[in-house]
Structure 1
Amino acid sequence: MSGFRRHRRSGAAVATFTVHEADLLRSLAGQIIELLRSEEATPQAEDPLERMLDFSGPTTVPDDPVLARLFPSAYPDDEEAAGDFRRYTEATLRNGKAASAATVIDSLEDAGLPAEPEDGVFIDVELDPPTAMTWMRAFTDMRLAIATRLGVEEGDEERWAALPEDDPQAQVHDIYEWLGFLQETLVRSAA
């Protein structure tokens, strides 16, 4: 397992993944997109100007805990202000997060990731600075999603270390840690 490094000549962030690692990243990015598209926004616009500008986003915190973590309330002490803020911003934020995840998928497939992974194949990814920033945002969303589903909390490393290797939660936590490693090496290589 290697992370990202800076290409000496181009300055791009580069990494080599096994086909299975690349396929896992594609799967995680696809799951983020699916999650972001799973809840439909309920149109709230009664005002003709708002209808014309399409301020029809949701006004309440999402039911799904991962979505609630990805889109926290901007004004937790003021429900009306929080609803208005969410209505005007959440659709754009969702689209941005989905686009970041789609960029990960596109980058991997452009680098040669086949539809059906085969053993012994490696995928070389080269990210220019804007694409590297997009991948960093996507890694953050993937990690937040996993951490929320697992219940990862600050200072609970002993809990995860104590789980047997074959425990499904331990295996997903390993993916969470791997994404953190990739994100850290990407940050260093893009700096």
Structure 2
Amino acid sequence: MRKWKRVDTAEGPRFRSALAPHEAALLKNMVASVQGMLDEREAATPSDPLEQITGIRAGNPQAPEDSTMRRLLPDFFKPQRDHPAGSAAAESLNGALRSLHEPEIIDAKKAAAQRLLDTLPDGGGRFEITEDDANAWISAVNDVRLALGAMLEIGPEGPDRLPADHPLAGHLDVYQWLTVLQEYLVLGLMGKPIR
């Protein structure tokens, strides 16, 4: 991947880069996988009679069981300490907030992923995106990083390296590549020079 280059035009900033064919294919597959996971989550939402009456979409009130999906759709509320009423109060609040907001969150994540896919050059090569495209790229790449980070069990102090013979060593390299891709694009959006 080449570093992002910001070019200011009369229509607003543009961001240029280039991807090798294998980088473009890898990014396409990973973003499409995240889209598929979000589609499955959406399809697993139980039917809501109130939705049928009002037309207002409701989300799945249950937290995802899968750790990757929990990273993409975390709880809205985490108690700071044990509540006298127990964890049921936090679970109830999270269920209500999921019902209200999860459809919009999933829609936004899928729209960002689709925008990345629509602007990703088939087979790699040079390309240019708008500021809105760049924001979508940042969001979609972040979702891929979250999913991959959950699989690798990366926390705030995640590993910088895994032994070469570790079965997930290559995945960590991809995670770090995505981090650089995202960081350089954020710096470009902020108008900061890329070192």
TM normalised by structure 2 equals 0.82
Percent identical across equivalent pairs? 25
Are 1:130 and 2:129 matched, yes or no? no
- CA root-mean-square deviation: 1.9
Equivalence for 2:170: 171
Q: Name the structure 1 match of 2:62.
A: 60
Q: CA deviation at 1:152?
A: 1.0
Indicate the SS of the match to 2:13. coil
Please name the residue that 1:146 is paired with. 148
What amino acid sits opposite 1:127 in the alignment? I
Structure 2 residues not aligned, in runs of 5+: 80-89, 191-195
Shift of 1:104: 1.1
Q: Identify if the C-alpha distance between structure 1 residues 42 and 22 changes in structure 2 by more than 3 Å, giving closer, same or farther.
A: same
Q: For 1:7 and 1:182, how far apart are their aligned partners in 2?
A: 17
Corresponding position of 1:86: 98
Partner of residue 84, structure 2: none
| Aligned twin of 2:37 | 35
SS of the residue corresponding to residue 38 of structure 1 reads: helix
Give the Å deviation of 1:50.
Answer: 7.1
Where do 1:38-49 residues align within 5 Å? 38-39=40-41, 40-45=44-49, 47=50
Query: CA offset at residue 55 of structure 1?
Result: 3.5
> CA 1:162–1:75 in structure 2 vs 1: closer, same or farther (change >3 Å)?
closer
- CA drift of 1:154 comes to 2.4
Paired residue total: 176
What's the TM-score once normalised by structure 1's chain length?
0.84
